[in-house]
Amino acid sequence: MKRKSKLALSAILVLTLLVTMVSSIMYAAPQNTKGYEAAIEAKVKEVLENGYSSFYKINNTKVNFDEMNVNGEDIEATVSVKMNTTLKVKKVEELPYVKGMLKKANMTNFTYESKAKTDEAVAKANKGKLKNEKMAKVAKELDFRFNELKQYIDKAADNNFILKITAKVSNNAVAADSIKIMAENIDTLVPVEQLLPNTAEEMEAEGANDMQMVIESEEQGYAPSLYASYNRVAARDYANRWSTNPTSCYDHGTSCGIRQNRTTWNNAANPYYAELCHNDCADFVSQSLHAGGIPMDSTWKRGTPANTTLAWVNTGYLKTYMLTTKAYWKTASFSTAYAGGVLYTASSHVVFLVFNDTVTRKYSAHTNDRNQVNYSNVSGYAYYILW
């Protein structure tokens, strides 16, 4: 019996020693969470800052880890980034897109002063090359663009990105070449590189192409039913005031996959209606358009839940009302849709456009709730403007 007891005691001692050794090993090599975050943050900053620095002064970049899961060698993270930038150009004429427009209009040495001076410069540069009505269109387009774009010169602005990142762990550190960055692009994920600015040459070509379309256009001015009193700035400011970039779902944690902050859905003029549930994208865009001066009527209005119309809260009915019934909207493109316009995705999601300096575009939206988030053009996106 004594021998058995000794053997049992020896086994217990060996087992205890093994447990102690394993515990010691585990303690000596804990999950290097802070190190993982630092490596991913460095890569994110490198990609974004290198991509934007050709056209912007990078004032600061803040990276926030909303979620990070480590499963063995695999890392998955959701990261939100706020990068503050200022355009490097000091005049609208220096923007590559505008250079392309001016070159197509035979005005490479043009400096904007006023509408009258623009009319004179266009006529002088294109005498014998364009008919009078074509020159009038060119002058009108340039006057509009210069007055639109001057607001972005020498003014800092935030660029927001929602990123999905995967990486591999090797020797308790992130393998640098394993970091893959995907960016949320409204309702789809794309490689982050697709959100970076085009080259100067590409933007110049885009400007030249858009000016050529103006010259070739057979339009005799704006359709009379476009709402002439629409205030794009007021609409944009409303959209930015009543949107955020939340990291969770208001009612259902993070499992629902929808990011919402209902405090921005609930203002005095437009209280939140439970009947909308998660679906507030059209309601939000309608609110923004109304803030810009578009009047309600019996077909498009917000009242009590029972009196709010489908044209106000349903994306399809909203488009039909604005585009067909009232003809307030007309189609635009990625390059010509400025702040105050709207964008429809292939899935019929609708968002409000709040920024376009010809280099960068941003939108604000509900469901998912987004505030001044960068986006790029994707096949299936449709753009509409009211001017």
Averaged pLDDT score across all residues of the chain: 89
Least confident of 42-51, 202-211, 267-276, 315-324: 267-276
Q: Can you give the pLDDT at residue 221?
A: 54
**What is the token pair recorded at 312?**
């106000």
CB burial readout 246-280, b (16+ within 10 A) else e: bebbbeeeeeeebbbbeebbeeeebeebeebebeb
Q: Can you give the pLDDT at residue 1?
A: 45
For residue 12, pLDDT beyond 60? no
Looking up tokens 């804990």, which residue turns up?
30
CB atoms under 10 Å from CB of 330, counted, come to: 18
Instruction: State the pairing for strand pair 342-344/382-385.
Output: antiparallel
Q: Can you give the pLDDT at residue 5?
A: 47
**What is the token pair recorded at 305?**
């839940």
Least confident of 3-17, 122-136, 293-307: 3-17
Question: CA end-to-end span of the chain, whole Å?
Answer: 99
Planar angle of CA 85, 86, 91, nearest 5 degrees: 155
Q: Can you give the pLDDT at residue 16?
A: 47
The model's pLDDT over 53-88, given as tens digits with 9 standing for 90+, comes to 999 999 999 999 999 999 999 999 999 999 999 999
| 222-385 carries CATH number 3.50.50.60 | no
Cα separation, 81 vs 52, in Å, equals: 14
Q: Can you give the pLDDT at residue 279?
A: 83
For residue 23, pLDDT beyond 90? no
pLDDT bucket at 267, cuts 50 / 70 / 90 = confident
pLDDT bucket at 255, cuts 50 / 70 / 90 = low
The residue extents of the domains of the chain are: 33-87+157-184, 91-153+198-220, 222-385
SS3 of residue 194 by DSSP: helix
For residue 379, pLDDT beyond 60? yes
Cα separation, 216 vs 28, in Å, equals: 71
The model's pLDDT over 345-374, given as tens digits with 9 standing for 90+, comes to 999 999 999 999 999 999 999 988 999 999
Looking up tokens 């859905």, which residue turns up?
265
For residue 17, pLDDT beyond 50? no
Q: Can you give the pLDDT at residue 261?
A: 78
| 33-87+157-184 carries CATH number 3.60.15.10 | no
Q: Higher model confidence: residue 3 or residue 318?
A: 318
Mean pLDDT of 330-336: 96
CB atoms under 10 Å from CB of 284, counted, come to: 26
- Of 4-13, 108-117, 240-249, highest mean pLDDT: 108-117
Rg (CA), the chain: 27
Alpha helix stretches (DSSP H) within the chain: 2-28, 33-52, 96-104, 115-126, 132-149, 200-216, 232-241, 281-291, 310-313, 315-319
Cα separation, 264 vs 309, in Å, equals: 21
The percentage of the chain sitting over the pLDDT mark of 70, rounded to a whole number, equals 88
For residue 32, pLDDT beyond 90? no
The model's pLDDT over 207-232, given as tens digits with 9 standing for 90+, comes to 999 999 999 987 655 555 789 899 99
Minimal CA–CA distance to 46: which of 181, 157, 140, 174? 181
Mean pLDDT of 270-294: 89
Instruction: State the pairing for strand pair 157-170/361-365.
Output: unpaired
